[in-house]
Amino acid sequence: MSAQKVYLSEMLYLLYFTVMFGARAAGLYEGMLLYNITLVIGILLFVIKVTMTEHTVFEYLVMALLLGMSLLVYKNTGEKGLLLYMTMMLGMKGVSLQKIEKVGLTILGVCFPVLVFLSVTGIITDIAYPADGRLLPGQMLRRSLGYPYFNTMFTTYVVLVALIMLVCGYQEKKQLILSSIFFFIAGVYLYIYSCSNTGMIVLTVFLMMNIVMQSMKISASPKSRAGSIEDKHRGLGIFIRILLMSVYPLGMVASILCPLLIGGESFEILDKLFHNRFNYANYYLTHEPVTLFGTRFAQAPNENYLIDSSFLYSFLQLGVVPCVVLTTLMMATICKLIKENRRIELAVVVSFCVLGLSDPFFYNLSYKNIMMLFAGETLWAWLAEIEDTLIKRSELSNSSLKKEIVKALSAKIFLLKSGRKEFYYTNSRIYAVWGEIGEFLKSVFATKGIRKLVIMIGVSIIIFAFAYYSGRANVEGIVDTIPEWEFFRSAMSRGLWSGMAVMLIVNFRQNVL
């Protein structure tokens, strides 16, 4: 058995991420005592991790500036989200992004289905209120399935699917299409409970973008997940690069300028399309001041008035300076991903930017914007390049003062050297499975995996048909009332979860026997 090495400082960050990401994955939210406790624990773990990692004076200065900016925003606005995302990024030095993604997938892969199952079976009570079915007929109860809000539940599912695709890496075309269809069907199931148009649109955009990006010929690079994919082209074409680089700026323009510049009938159409978000954005842009480091908003006309755009949130709520810093960092991240041919990450960025148009999750307390993990990786690579450049230039300089300044900035500080302590673990079955989780997930959609999925779908349809038609008297005509939809959902859930249980039993028997 080969031994795998991990440093104590890396373990501290993964523990920090487990606490912070796990709290949100488990459905905790601001105002809950348990969530406040997790925030304190998470910040303490972050501080310990930083002290256990070797940093230069220059790096400490950058961290101090970014954390200082976040604390100033918190002082002015009461918003803690930016501070938490800064700890996510700044703690990443020396930590493998792939390990963080696997930890996130493990956490969300357990928490999300468990919460959904407990909610649909009635074991726990979730948030529900009557509303029109939007794309579905009649009236129904919109359900949050264990999360604070309907869109929150669905966007959490989108993050789960994104993590699965990231951990899997590049797939064969048949596998990719099959897995995308599976995740889309699961999304339809969740939509029938939540009626989240935003979530369904973003899920569709991500799955389609992922198929398109992976279908392109991949030029393998040191950071690429291409593996053995045939290399016929060198990177992305100029036109595609321009489109990808313009996604984030277009989001800023659409969120900040469009609500101000568009008027008349066009405004009414867009406002209706975005469920009054244009009207709310226009209200805040015309009633709240533009500040350097954010401001607390005055009382809105009613509770429906919210900033539902990540781009507008970063500009108006957080302030101009944080907005410029974050935009610069995101643009640098996208540029780095393009340069390294990281197509799955780019699919995540594009779909999240679409989601950011109608959800403020980029920099609020959601802690599910995994783009910030890419940004953290970019930040540390960026800082290393800047330091190397400064050192090389100082060596060529005749100025002794400049040399002394650079020498002082590049001086290394290691507060707790115990962070270098190494731990080894052998590839026992549990570690081997976790280490190869991407290959395991791919196998689900391989030839044998297809058979298991066919079994699951077959059992699900049979159980659903039996449950639905045995209680058909509960439905008059089409399903279009709250009681009828609850009956339909119950039959559908019985079918789906029974099918999944049978598939897991078959998989277990095959692995054991």
* pLDDT over 90 (residue 159): yes
Q: What pLDDT, on the 0 to 100 scale, is given for residue 502? A: 81
Q: What pLDDT, on the 0 to 100 scale, is given for residue 224? A: 56
> Are residues 406 and 279 located together in one domain of the fold?
yes
C-alpha 416/C-alpha 48 separation (Å) is 8
Own/partner contacts of 111-119, CB < 8 Å, gap of 24 or more, are: 111/22, 111/25, 111/26, 111/27, 112/25, 112/156, 112/157, 112/160, 115/26, 115/27, 115/145, 115/146, 115/147, 116/145, 116/146, 116/153, 116/190, 117/497, 118/146, 119/143, 119/144, 119/145, 119/146
> Are residues 455 and 422 located together in one domain of the fold?
no
230 occurs within a structural domain: no
**Range 462-490 average pLDDT:** 80
Q: What pLDDT, on the 0 to 100 scale, is given for residue 139? A: 83
* pLDDT over 70 (residue 11): yes
* pLDDT over 90 (residue 165): yes
Give 230-268 as a 3 state SS string: CCCCCCCCHHHHHHHHHHHHHHHHHHHCHHHHCCHHHHH
Indicate the pairing of strand 422-426 with strand 3-7: antiparallel
Task: Assign 175 a pLDDT band (cuts: 50, 70, 90).
Answer: confident
> Are residues 35 and 114 located together in one domain of the fold?
yes
Own/partner contacts of 202-208, CB < 8 Å, gap of 24 or more, are: 202/155, 202/158, 202/351, 202/352, 202/354, 202/355, 203/154, 203/157, 203/158, 203/161, 205/350, 205/351, 205/354, 206/158, 206/161, 206/162, 206/347, 206/348, 206/350, 206/351, 207/161, 207/180, 207/183
229 occurs within a structural domain: no
C-alpha 267/C-alpha 269 separation (Å) is 5
What is the count of structural domains for the chain? 2
Q: 72 CB contacts (<8 Å, ≥6 apart)?
A: 293, 294
| pLDDT top residue among 325 and 6 | 325
Q: What pLDDT, on the 0 to 100 scale, is given for residue 15? A: 95
> Are residues 377 and 480 located together in one domain of the fold?
no
| pLDDT top residue among 417 and 327 | 327
Diameter over CA atoms, the chain: 91
Task: Assign 177 a pLDDT band (cuts: 50, 70, 90).
Answer: confident
* pLDDT over 80 (residue 409): yes
Q: What pLDDT, on the 0 to 100 scale, is given for residue 216? A: 73
28 occurs within a structural domain: yes
404 occurs within a structural domain: yes
* pLDDT over 60 (residue 223): no
139 occurs within a structural domain: yes
> Are residues 169 and 21 located together in one domain of the fold?
yes
> Are residues 266 and 393 located together in one domain of the fold?
yes
Q: What pLDDT, on the 0 to 100 scale, is given for residue 402? A: 83
> Are residues 205 and 284 located together in one domain of the fold?
yes
The 3-state DSSP class for residue 270 equals helix
440 occurs within a structural domain: no
Chain segment 22-77, per-residue pLDDT in tens: 999 998 888 889 999 999 999 999 999 999 999 999 999 999 999 999 999 999 99
Output the CA torsion sign for 100, 104, 109, 110.
Answer: positive
166 occurs within a structural domain: yes
* pLDDT over 80 (residue 277): yes
Q: What pLDDT, on the 0 to 100 scale, is given for residue 218? A: 46
| pLDDT top residue among 186 and 225 | 186
Q: What is the pTM of this model?
A: 0.90
293 occurs within a structural domain: yes
What are the backbone angles phi and psi of residue 143, rounded to the nearest 5°? -115, 140
Select from 414, 434, 454 the last residue of a domain: 434
> Are residues 248 and 269 located together in one domain of the fold?
yes
Select from 384, 399, 434 the last residue of a domain: 434
Q: 11 CB contacts (<8 Å, ≥6 apart)?
A: 423
Measure Cα distances from 118 to 18, 123, 154 in Å.
22, 5, 16
> Are residues 476 and 424 located together in one domain of the fold?
no
Chain segment 238-264, per-residue pLDDT in tens: 888 888 999 999 999 999 998 888 888
**Range 366-382 average pLDDT:** 94
> Are residues 106 and 179 located together in one domain of the fold?
yes
> Are residues 44 and 68 located together in one domain of the fold?
yes
3-state helix, strand, coil in the chain (%, to 5): 70, 5, 25
Cβ atoms of residues 331 and 197 within 8 Å: no
* pLDDT over 70 (residue 427): no
Select from 434, 454, 482 the last residue of a domain: 434
DSSP letters spanning 447-462: HHHHHHHHHHHHHHHH
Kindly report the average pLDDT of the chain as a whole number: 85
Domain containing residue 450: 446-512
> Are residues 125 and 245 located together in one domain of the fold?
yes
Q: What pLDDT, on the 0 to 100 scale, is given for residue 346? A: 94
Q: What pLDDT, on the 0 to 100 scale, is given for residue 236? A: 61
**Range 278-287 average pLDDT:** 88
Q: What pLDDT, on the 0 to 100 scale, is given for residue 50? A: 94
